[in-house]
Amino acid sequence: MTLLTLPSTRQEAFRWTDVDGIAAAASLPRADAGPADAFWLDLPGDRLLFVDGELHASSRLGRAELAEVAASDHPLGSRASGRGWRLALSADAVADPVQVVHLSTGGDNHLAAEILLADDAVGTVVETYAGRGWANRFARLTLGKAARLQRAVRLLQDEGFASTRDEAELGTGASLVQIALGAGGAGSRIDAQVVAGEGAFAEFGGALLTRGTQKQECAVAVRHAEPNGQSRQYWRAVAADQSAASLAARVEVARHAQKTDGEQSLRGILLKRTATVNLKPELEIFADDVKCAHGATVGELDERALFYMQSRGVPRARAQAILTRAFVADAIERIGNEVVADAFMADADAWLERAL
Amino acid sequence: MLQIDNLHAEIDGKPILKGLTLSVSAGEVHAIMGPNGAGKSTLGYVLGGRPGYEVTDGSVTFDGRDLLGMEPHERAAAGLFLGFQYPVEIPGVSNVQFLRESLNAQRASRDEKPLSGGEFLKLARAEAAKLDINAEMLKRPVNVGFSGGEKKRNEMVQMGIIDPKLAILDETDSGLDIDALRIVGEGINRVMRRPDKAVVLITHYERLLEYVAPDFVHVLVDGRVVRSGDIELARELEREGYGAVSA
């Protein structure tokens, strides 16, 4: 693999991407990544373990299967197009959650996925990235009329890079709630394009926690192609040390997508003044009868709140942890499944313990 | 209990306290009154240890210990409670969590066992009920969406739960209606009117002092105590204003 084939930071869509980090991740030598056991949540349903992109024999497949996935033309997503896994659910399916663990041992690996929800189908997918190296993923999500998909993705790789590209299409009245947590030691890019149909609901958000010299970013666009859609993009970034977290979120409203209700909130906290948080909120609205609230702020923890807690007996470091946790929980608690939300908060807590 | 000697403090290089001396013994309630800008709130913050308030001269001891050498949370653990004029809103942190963290942090620093969730809730509900605060409010984020009066009553709930030795109450009466004033006044008496405790009540007005009868009233002007007396001094201030009394 050569650098020349990766996107350039001169392209606006990749201006904050850690391209050097991707190259470095791909050249990490292979090493034992340890067992995947700790990453399974106590949930019924399928368990898919991919080690360096290959399905491991210990996997438990019920609804999910291996399949070919139609290609993407995205610069990173296209590398992962083709061979992958598929989850197709119909309305009468028992909607047990599907867990996927992506364990990497070094070098680079690429894998595609397709999630197809028929009209009125309901699905839950939880994905975990662990290990080292460059894990590159592409997923095509297609939701039929009134279908509902909850997807939670946590990036816990110790080192290297994880890049995901999702392309989602939501049918009339469909609902996608996808929440990501970046709480490992690796770089990342969460890249997505969501197209929402009439009356569809698209929530795409999460929390990126960075430390050391780590760089993580999201680049998510939600396009309201039809009227009466709703979207929510709540992203939180916490940056420690010399790290950088970048949040780029975009809402597009097509000319006839009237009564669209969009909300976008990008917020960052710097735990050290040497850290960086980049925010790029974008709205592109062609319809005239829409509501699109948006807010973007970066700052340090509220000194007044810190002192208030200290004055009640809470040591400063603990007060910082409590305030940072509340900030992160704001995004993570939007995960509907309690087991998943609790596990993600525990990962965030472990990160906070280490960073503060 | 509290001994303040010749205290000088400044904010951003601007002197605010200019040689303040005050002695508070156990069992006493002291009221500090004074015009805007006299340094009343600064005194509270300096005693609480708020960053940005620099002590340039003088000393403060609390139960014989050097208060100014202690971190804010250590002051709290030693028994000091600072009631805020403007209680801070903390989105995402519930009152219950905030109070339990506070109480258990203080207990830990005194080598006492932390209270369990159940024990704590029982205590919190009892204290809240005494101040007309319902249990639902305890679950809400700290002070978020509370009215001015609710915030002040919430301060008193915290004081009741923490049960401090010395309370510095910074304009706890401002923003309260007549009923809330009475409830807060009774709260202060109930929690703090003990032979082993003391209160420093910072206030603009004499109203609260009718509920919490102070043993001493001090007038603070331009960073110094210019007059001391009893409740009669407060009434005189109410009648004649600070100009006449401190001249």
Contact at CB, B84 and A305, closer than 8 angstroms: no
Contact A307/B87, CB-based, under 8 Å?
Answer: no
Residues B63, B3: Cα–Cα separation, whole Å? 8
A331 to chain B: nearest residue by CA?
Answer: B92
Name the token pair of B208.
Answer: 């609260």
How many whole angstroms separate alpha carbon A12 and alpha carbon A222? 17
Domain that holds residue A208: 3-301
A198: which DSSP letter? Answer: T
Report CB contact under 8 Å: B76, A327.
no
Q: Rounded to the nearest 5 degrees, what angle is found at the Cα of B70, between the Cα atoms of B64 and B75? A: 75
CA distance B39 to chain A (A): 19
Chain B environment of A329 (Cβ under 8 Å):
92
A145's CB contacts (< 8 A; 6+ apart) are: A119, A120, A171, A172, A173, A174
Which pLDDT does position B178 carry in this prediction? 85
User: Per the CB < 8 Å rule, is B71 touching A316?
Assistant: yes
Q: What is the pLDDT of residue A4?
A: 45
Q: How far apart are CA B9 and CA B38, in angstroms?
A: 12
Q: Is residue A23 part of a domain?
A: yes
The full set of domain ranges for chain B reads 2-246
Nearest CA-CA distance, residue B42 and chain A, Å: 14
- On whether residue A355 sits in a domain, the answer given is no
What are the pLDDT digits (tens) for A257-302?
999 999 999 999 999 999 999 999 999 999 999 999 999 999 999 9
pLDDT at A327: 94
How large is the average pLDDT for residues A188-203? Answer: 98
Q: Where is A252: in which H helix or E strand?
A: strand A244-253
Q: Residues near B178 by Cβ (< 8 Å), separated by ≥ 6? A: none
CA-based nearest distance A328→chain B, Å = 9
Q: CB pairs below 8 Å between A and B: how many? A: 82
Has this prediction a pTM greater than 0.80?
yes
In a domain, residue A344? The reply is no
At CA A200, angle to CA A197 and CA A204, rounded to 5?
105
Select from A312, A332, A333, A334 the residue whose CB has the most chain B CBs within 10 Å, as the one to mutate to test that interface: A312
> pLDDT per residue over A18-27, tens digit each?
999 999 999 9
CA A195 – CA A260 distance, rounded (Å): 13
User: Does the beta-carbon distance from B50 to A307 stay under 8 Å?
Assistant: yes
Return the HEC string of A279-332. EEEEEEECCCCCEEEEEEEEECCCHHHHHHHHHCCCCHHHHHHHHHHHHHHHHH
Residues in A closer than 8 angstroms to B98, CB to CB, are: 309, 312, 322
User: pLDDT tens digits for chain B (247 residues)?
Assistant: 999 999 999 999 999 999 999 999 999 999 999 888 899 999 999 999 999 999 999 999 999 999 999 999 999 999 999 999 999 999 989 999 999 999 998 888 888 898 888 888 888 888 888 877 787 888 899 999 888 888 988 899 899 989 999 999 998 888 788 888 888 898 899 999 999 999 999 988 788 888 898 999 999 999 999 999 998 888 888 888 887 776 5
How remote is the C-alpha of A295 from its chain's centroid?
20
SS3 letters across A324-345: HHHHHHHHHCCCCCHHHHHHHH
Q: With beta carbons under 8 A apart, name residues in chain B contacting A313.
A: 73, 76-77, 102-103, 105-106, 109, 162
Q: Which residues of A touch B48 (CB under 8 A)?
A: 307, 311
pLDDT value for B129: 85
pLDDT for residue A1 is more than 60: no
Q: What angle do CA B60, B64, B65 make, to 5 degrees?
A: 65
User: Considering the domain boundaries, does residue A310 fall inside one?
Assistant: no
Beta carbons of B76 and A313 less than 8 Å apart: yes
Q: Give the chain A residue nearest B107 (alpha carbons).
A: A313
pLDDT for position B246: 65
Q: Six-digit token pair at A118?
A: 């028929």
Contact assignment for B90 to A308 by CB distance below 8 Å: yes
Taking CB atoms and an 8 Å limit, are B51 and A303 in contact across chains? yes
Q: H-helix or E-strand containing A79?
A: helix A77-80
Instruction: Give the C-alpha separation, A270 to A299, whole Å.
Output: 6
Task: Report pLDDT for B247.
Answer: 59
Residues of A in Cβ contact (< 8 Å) with B72: 307, 310-311, 316
- Residue A210 belongs to a domain: yes
More reliable by pLDDT, B182 or A231: A231
Residue A295 lies in a domain: yes
Q: Within A101-227, where are the H helices? A: none
Nearest to B105 among A304, A307, A318 (CB): A318
Residue A85 in any domain: the answer is yes
Tens digit of pLDDT for each residue in B149-197? 889 888 998 999 899 999 999 988 887 888 888 888 988 999 999 999 9
- What are the CA-CA distances from residue A326 to residues A66, A207, B94, B153, B231 (Å)? 39, 12, 10, 24, 45
Measured in degrees and rounded to the nearest 5, phi and psi for residue A240 equal -110, 170
Please report which helix (H) or strand (E) contains residue A24, including its range: helix A19-26
Cβ of B87 within 8 Å of Cβ of A308? The answer is yes
Task: Specify the higher pLDDT residue, B34 or A311.
Answer: A311
Q: How close, in Å, is residue A345 to chain B by CA atoms?
A: 14
Inter-chain CB proximity A312 and B49 less than 8 Å: no
Contact A195, A141 (CB under 8 A): no
Task: Identify residues of A whose CB sits under 8 angstroms from chain B CBs.
Answer: 302-305, 307-316, 318, 322-323, 325-327, 329-330
Taking residues A109-133, report their average pLDDT. 97
> Is B113 in contact with B107 (CB distance < 8 Å)?
yes
Bridge-based pairing state of the strands A98-117 and A47-51: parallel
How far apart CA B182 and CA B173 sit, in angstroms, is 10
What is the count of structural domains for chain A?
1
The residues of B whose Cβ lies within 8 A of any Cβ of A are: 48-51, 71-73, 75-77, 81-82, 84, 87-93, 97-99, 101-103, 105-106, 109, 158, 162
What's the CA angle centered on A257, arms A223 and A228, to 5 degrees?
95
- Chain A hits for B49, CB-CB cut-off 8 Å, are 310-311
Rounded to 5°, the CA angle A175-A179-A184 comes to 160
CATH code for the structural domain at B2-246: 3.40.50.300
